[in-house]
Amino acid sequence: MPRILIKTESLNFNHMIRYPDLQIQAEKLTFIKGPSGTGKTTLLKLLNATTSPASGTICLNDESIDSIDAVLLRQQLLLCGQTVYLFDSTIRENFAHYYRYRNLAIPDDDTIQKYLTLCLAPFPLDTHCQTLSGGERQRIYIAIFLSFQSDVLMLDEPTSALDETTSRKLFENLKLLMTDTNRTLIVVSHDQRLIETYADAVIDLDAIKEQTQRSVVNTALTQKEA
């Protein structure tokens, strides 16, 4: 029986988005999909408490996230946002900047290289990030977040600047790494092919919305055995 990691109950954001009650399993790869405006990004922000719901509760391992220190929660449920931010310096210095902000020891070159390779960005560490393309920057950004080895990694549109082959290869690596180490991956994406190939579970916010509109009891969490 898979363990439930995150549970939401009558979650309501800004009185505009009403979420059905959701469940996300531990140690699985869950995709969140739906057209824009259905609150996919907002859901991730609610989960890591960078924004608060108007009403409703979110539980992490059966404990309300309101009783967890918000900073510790974010370190545990790391959210790699949609907009890439890299410092105007080299790849190595970017890792260093972010690790310094977290008061952590800066990883050695081999470790950095390992995560870059996993994210298909095997560039020399002295490469200046300004010289890289949008897709390359996105992969470095993901590599930095991945290297923090959080229990849960949430990726918001991680393949928006990547071609299909690169996207598939990236997800192959991500899934292997996360399931190997018993960690949870939550991904917002609208790439149907990626979802079909890699999802352990899918939350379709649009389908749920339509169903709740028709007053059908929520059962929209589609499960797919990997």
Partner 1 sequence: MNDIIQLNLIQFSSIYLLLLVVLAVMKRAEIEQSKLLVIASIRMTIQLILAGLVLTYIFDNPHPLWTLLYIFSMIAFAFHRVLSKQPGLNRAFKIGIMISIALSGLLVILYFIGGVIGISVFNPQYTIPIGGMIIGNAMTGVSLGIKTFMTNLASDRNKIDTLLNLGVEPRKILLPYVNQALETALLPTLNSMLSMGIISLPGMMTGQILSGTLPLTAIMYQIAIMVAICTAVCLSVFLSLTFGYQSLYNHRQQIRLP
Residue numbers annotated as active site: 157
Q: Where are the beta strands (DSSP E) in the chain?
A: 4-13, 17-18, 23-25, 29-33, 55-60, 63-64, 77-80, 152-156, 184-188, 201-204, 222-223
Q: In the numeric block, which tokens belong to residue 6?
A: 């995150």
Q: How many residues bind partner 1 (CB under 8 A)?
A: 24
Q: Does 49 sit near partner 1 (CB under 8 A)?
A: yes
Which residues lie below 8 Å from residue 18, measured CB to CB, with a gap of 6+?
10, 11, 12, 212
Q: How far is the CB of 199 from partner 1 (least distance, A)?
A: 23
Residues 84-123 that bind partner 1 (CB under 8 A): 85, 98, 101-102
Count of CB atoms situated within 10 Å of the CB of 152: 22
Binds partner 1 by CB under 8 A, chosen from 16, 70, 216, 226 = 70
Q: Does 12 sit near partner 1 (CB under 8 A)?
A: no
Locus of tokens 């790699």: 80
How far is CA 36 from its chain centroid?
A: 17
Q: How far is the CB of 75 from partner 1 (least distance, A)?
A: 3
Q: x-or-dash pattern for partner 1, window 195-224, by CB under 8 A?
A: ------------------------------
Question: What is the binding site for partner 1 (CB under 8 A)?
Answer: 48-52, 69-76, 78-81, 83, 85, 98, 101-102, 145, 148
